[in-house]
Structure 1
Amino acid sequence: MSIKKKAIILSLVVSIVLMLAKFTAYFITGSNAILTDAAESIVNVIAGSFAFYSIYLSTQPRDENHPYGHGKVEFFSVFVEGILIFIAGIIIIFKSSYNLIYPHAVGQLLQGTLIIGITGLINMFVGLYLIKVGKDEHSVTLQADGRHLLTDTYTSGGVVLGLILIQLTNIIWLDSLLSVLVGFYIIYAGYKLVRGSVGGLMDESDFTLLEEVVEVLQNNRHNPWIDVHNLRTQQYGPEFHVDCHVTLPYYFDLNQVHREISQIDELINKNGFRKAELFIHADPCLPACCHYCHMSECKVRAEAFKQEITWTPEIVIKNKKHFENELL
């Protein structure tokens, strides 16, 4: 079993146990704030179940109907999780607003506070673990689930502080007010997950990933690689795809072009970000490229080398050779 599957199973089991613990705390105390935290745990269980299925599906090999694999299902999983969190926040706000107007008594807050505090700590450790594994395995689902559990930790911390304040002041309506505030925070957390998943589904550029690719190319550039432009990245679950144009000397034969392109492919895949699939289009150089070309022994050079153009994300994403960028 892969480490991703083990991590999401751990998350699911922990979410079920903590959900039962939080509802026990609610039945003991009758606190709306604790009910808010318990209700979010239901979302944790549902989202964890869907996340497990999405991770299972994302690890399936490519087939005729899915030539790029099944990795994008992870973005859909994050979208569903965000929507569930968003809905839970709205329900919590409405119920708590009602109880703010018509408050009811709460009891045994000390026991409830201890239970919520312990569940919050457990969620924090599991959430940090999921985020670490998600980053190592390049899984947006695990990272989203980890951030969700950290959100649950923050809400549990807020609930604990609120319950302590209620015990100190004996102001009962603070319970519902705290629940409303937590509900708004939960809605915000859900919005961030939905926003990120939609960006992934629409192939929104990952600027951090782009910077990593450009840095590797810049630090290991070969003289025949005169410039790199029209560079784009797409992520499909644990895999990502890079396509770009590389300007090479126009007199290179097909074998030489293939060798240079293969070296770029090997370079990206050996620098440890993740498994990458590259689509590289070779462009022939023009006389206007000579002043930034490192091919010192070139027999057709029309102009002396003047200055290297440092590859940056802002330069390489443009669909123009570097001398054309200089004219802008």
Structure 2
Amino acid sequence: MSVKKRAIILSLVVSILLMLAKFAAYFITGSNSILTDAAESIVNVIAGSFAFYSIYLSTQPRDENHPYGHGKVEFFSAFVEGILILIAGVIIIFKSSYNLIYPHAVGQLLEGTLIIGITGLINMIVGLYLINVGKDQHSITLQADGKHLLTDTYTSVAIVVGLILIQLTNIIWLDSLLSVLVGFYIVYSGYKLTRGSVGGLMDESDFTLVEEVVEVLQKNRHNPWIDVHNLRTQQYGPELHIDCHVTLPYYFDLNKVHREISQIDELINSNGVRKAELFIHADPCLPECCHYCHMSECPVRSEAFRKEIVWTPEIVIKNKKHFENELL
């Protein structure tokens, strides 16, 4: 069994056990804020189940119908999880607002506080584990599930603090007020998760990754690599695809062009950047490129080298040769 599958199974089992514990705490106390935490745990279980299926599907090999693999399902999984969190938050706000107007008695808060505190600690440990595994395995699903559990931890901490205040002050309506505030935080967390997953589904560029790739190319650039432009990144679950155009001397034969492109591929995949599949288009150089070209023994040079153009993300993502950028 893969590391990702073990991690998501652990998350699902823990979510079920903690959900049962929180509902037990609610039946003991009758606390509206504890019910809020328990209701969010239902979302954890549903989201964890869907995440398990998405992890299973994303690890399947490419086929004729899915030439880029099945990794994008992880973004869809994160989107569903975010929507579920949003719905749970809205329901919590409405119910807690009603109980704020029509409060009801609560009891045995000490036992309930202890149970919620323990569940929050467990969620924090499992959440941090999922985030670390998700980053290591480049799994958006595991990271989303881990962040969800950390959100659950923060709400549990807030609820524990609120329950302690209720016991100290005997102000019952604090229970519902706290639940409303936690509900708004849950809605905000669901929005952030949904926003990130939609960005992935829409192939939103990962600018941090672009910076890493450009830094590697700039530090190890070869003289024939006159410029790099139209660089784009695309993620399919754990798989990464990079497209770019590279300007090479127009008199290079096909074997030499292939060798230069292969060196770029090897460079990116061996220098700390995430393993990626590259699609590199070779462009022929033009006389306007001469003033920033490093080919000192070029047989067709029409102008002397004047200054190197430093590759930056802002330059390489444009679909223009560097001299065209200078004209803007």
In structure 1, what is the Cα distance between the partners aligned to 2:274 and 2:65? 24
Q: Which residue of 2 aligns with 1:61?
A: 61
Q: Which residue of 2 aligns with 1:88?
A: 88
Deviation of the 1:298 alpha carbon: 1.1
Amino acid at match of 1:119: T
Q: Which residue of 2 aligns with 1:50?
A: 50
Q: Which residue of 1 aligns with 2:237?
A: 237
Q: Which residue of 2 aligns with 1:198?
A: 198
Does 1:187 pair with 2:174?
no
**Quick check: 1:231–1:316 contact (8 Å CA) kept in 2?**
yes
Q: Which residue of 2 aligns with 1:156?
A: 156
In structure 2, what is the Cα distance between the partners aligned to 1:125 and 1:272? 28
Q: Which residue of 1 aligns with 2:122?
A: 122
Deviation of the 1:27 alpha carbon: 0.7
Give the percent of matched residue pairs that are identical in Structure 1 and Structure 2: 90
Helix, strand or coil for the counterpart of 1:69? coil
Q: Deviations over 1:106-158 (max 9, x none)?
A: 01101111111111111111111111111111110011111101100110010
In structure 2, what is the Cα distance between the partners aligned to 1:174 and 1:61? 53
Task: Give the ranges of 4+ consecutive aligned residues of structure 1 lying more than 2 Å apart after TM superposition.
Answer: 271-275
Q: Which residue of 1 aligns with 2:254?
A: 254
In structure 1, what is the Cα distance between the partners aligned to 2:243 and 2:84? 35
Deviation of the 1:275 alpha carbon: 2.7
Unmatched runs of 5 consecutive residues or more in structure 1 = none
In structure 1, what is the Cα distance between the partners aligned to 2:7 and 2:310? 41
Number of residues paired by the alignment? 328
Q: Which residue of 1 aligns with 2:215?
A: 215
Unmatched runs of 5 consecutive residues or more in structure 2 = none
Helix, strand or coil for the counterpart of 2:164? helix
**Quick check: 1:238–1:275 contact (8 Å CA) kept in 2?**
no
Q: Which residue of 1 aligns with 2:271?
A: 271
In structure 1, what is the Cα distance between the partners aligned to 2:121 and 2:311? 45
Amino acid at match of 1:20: L
Q: Deviations over 1:16-39 (max 9, x none)?
A: 111111111111100000000010
Deviation of the 1:266 alpha carbon: 1.1
Q: Deviations over 1:247-297 (max 9, x none)?
A: 000110000000001111111112233331111110011111111111111
**Quick check: 1:32–1:96 contact (8 Å CA) kept in 2?**
yes
In structure 1, what is the Cα distance between the partners aligned to 2:35 and 2:257? 64
TM-score by length of 2: 0.99
**Quick check: 1:291–1:304 contact (8 Å CA) kept in 2?**
yes
> Superposition RMSD on alpha carbons, in Å?
0.8
Deviation of the 1:94 alpha carbon: 1.0
TM-score by length of 1: 0.99
In structure 2, what is the Cα distance between the partners aligned to 1:59 and 1:220? 33
Q: Deviations over 1:26-64 (max 9, x none)?
A: 111000000000100110011011001001100100000
